[in-house]
Structure 1
Amino acid sequence: MSDERTGDSPGAGATWSGTEGARAFAAVEAATDWLLGYPFVFRALSRRIGAGAVLVDYGCGPGKVAGHAARRLGVRVIGVDTSPEMLELARAAESAVAEFHLVEDGRTEGLDDACADAVMCNHVLASLPDEPAVLSVFTEVRRLLRPGGPFVLLSTDPDCGGAEYASLRIGDPGTVHTPGQALTVWLRRTDGSWQEVRNHAWPVGRLPGLLERAGFRDVVQERPTVGEALETADPDLVRSRPWTAERERPPLVVTTALAA
């Protein structure tokens, strides 16, 4: 999902907008996400939908996660994003994603109400500055979902500050964040350097109430651990490093809700 982020190194402010921003986002390593995030999103989806279902990836970015979901779950994935440049990269990647659509003024072009069996949304909240923006995204996701369809949301816990995770550093330790508060994180790139990102903090405990206001029910949250990842994530990735910080305080939360 496009937001106000760019930059080349810690200390340089940043934006994913435009062509260069989209390319910078595509160069993020995301090892921690592939250990404790995306595999658990896929697992949550697999419990609710089967092969051939329609899955919308809301905020698909360059399409890498959407492509993995299509292949792993055997579903028809539709990628949507607010950034034309992100969608251009996604289309050029020739992934397993069926089609892509642009989100403009909060509405996804070309997609009807209740067109999706499920929706996933990964790290989009970090780009949203206030509660109305979050509710707008949740409301559009609810429009796209059939009744009873699952919405699976991956987010970083802003209270996990100070630790150096394999591919992530979150703000300062001991900081209590208010919803939408500006938050600096650093993301490791594939070349080993770090990119500073200006995010917004969304305490994970606030999400269930916002989801219910947008028309969801049966909200469940889980914080995946390295122990669980031994059976869920790619074995080569699991063996690739010690994951010391991830073991001490897992930083990612998976929230699942059903469309009412």
Structure 2
Amino acid sequence: MSDGARESGQADGGAGSTGGAGGTWSGRAGAQAFAAVEAATDWLLGYPFVFRTLSHRIGPGDVLVDYGCGPGQVADAAARRLQARVLGVDTSPEMLELARRTAPAVAEFHLVENGRVTGLADGRADAVMCNHVLASVPTQEAVLAVFTEIHRLLRPGAPLVLLTTDPACTGIEYASLRIGGGPGEEYGPGDRLTVRLRRTDGTWQDVHNHAWPVGFLPGLLERAGFRDVTQQRPTVDEALTVADPEFARGRAWAGERERPPLVVTTATAG
């Protein structure tokens, strides 16, 4: 899963290939394809809010793990903006190979094998961000396993900041994605849904995700040992003061204004 994987359930506009990044994003070609996802909606309503939340909880030199770093764009941006020591982790060796070449601000990279991050001790992280990883995770048990491993990495009292797409936002034309089928389609926990992602060359790619309704996540986080779970749905008006101003004002963002599709969930390791 990779940040760069974005919404694909296996992708990172910067995000998420840790739950089993097979299919669309597998292998070297898949890593390159993942890196070519535009992720404009994420750079407006997602990543800037993740960074802002983290900036309130960690300082320069603190260890931030990007769980599901993909090709590393988001991890690299976080390292530069937060001045944190960012460690990228992913299940895909090919994603990590690409990230090592293209994300010079990231301090270290670690492979996730059999659900465990290799080379990182318990309590190593001052914070973890996890962007669009859950879309590639097929079952409740597997989501709980991801949360449990993240909890292992965090010192007590440290934050997890989780970025997800609301699978209820179907039938709306967002700048860089389309979620599911027509308006009003409903998806339960783990249901398969198709997401269409815009590439940097203007073409679109269909990917198969798993739906995780945002209201389902707090209970799983608490089962994994987290507390103080909060959720925020960033809006375009908020983004005008958080995201890059030129970028935020450069498009109409009609769909994003109609129904913002991204949710930032924050929790504290107990």
Do the two structures share a fold, i.e. TM-score over 0.5? yes
TM (normalized to structure 1)?
A: 0.95
Cα distance between partner residues in 2 of 1:125 and 1:195:
19
TM (normalized to structure 2)?
A: 0.92
Cα distance between partner residues in 1 of 2:204 and 2:29:
16
Q: Pick one of 206, 217, 232 that aligns with 2:216.
A: 206
The residue aligned with 1:217 is 227
Identify if the C-alpha distance between structure 1 residues 219 and 105 changes in structure 2 by more than 3 Å, giving closer, same or farther.
same
Identify if the C-alpha distance between structure 1 residues 177 and 101 changes in structure 2 by more than 3 Å, giving closer, same or farther.
same
Q: In percent, how many aligned pairs have the same letter?
A: 74
Q: Deviations over 1:37-88 (max 9, x none)?
A: 0000001111111111100000000000000000000100000000000000
Is residue 77–residue 97 contact of structure 1 (8 Å, CA) maintained in 2?
Answer: yes
Letter in 1 for 2:78: A
In terms of mean alpha carbon deviation, does 60-69 or 45-54 score higher?
45-54
Cα distance between partner residues in 2 of 1:78 and 1:143:
15
Q: Structure 1 unaligned runs (5+)?
A: 7-13
- CA shift, 1:95, in A, is 2.2
Note if 1:120 corresponds to 2:129: yes
Is residue 4–residue 17 contact of structure 1 (8 Å, CA) maintained in 2?
Answer: no
Q: Pick one of 6, 9, 17 that aligns with 2:26.
A: 17
The residue aligned with 1:108 is 117
Cα distance between partner residues in 2 of 1:83 and 1:45:
25
Identify if the C-alpha distance between structure 1 residues 177 and 68 changes in structure 2 by more than 3 Å, giving closer, same or farther.
same
Letter in 1 for 2:219: G
Cα distance between partner residues in 1 of 2:10 and 2:43:
21
Q: Deviations over 1:141-167 (max 9, x none)?
A: 000000000000000000000011000
The residue aligned with 1:53 is 62
Q: Deviations over 1:71-123 (max 9, x none)?
A: 00010000000000000000011420000000000000000000000000000
Structure 1 runs (4+) greater than 4 angstroms displaced: 2-6
Cα distance between partner residues in 1 of 2:74 and 2:208:
22
The residue aligned with 1:241 is 251
The residue aligned with 2:204 is 194
Give the aligned length: 253
Identify if the C-alpha distance between structure 1 residues 62 and 146 changes in structure 2 by more than 3 Å, giving closer, same or farther.
same
Is residue 63–residue 95 contact of structure 1 (8 Å, CA) maintained in 2?
Answer: no
Is residue 129–residue 162 contact of structure 2 (8 Å, CA) maintained in 1?
Answer: yes
Letter in 2 for 1:53: D
Q: Structure 2 unaligned runs (5+)?
A: 3-7, 12-22
Q: CA RMSD in A?
A: 1.2
Q: Deviations over 1:161-215 (max 9, x none)?
A: 0011000100122112110000100000000000101000000000000000001
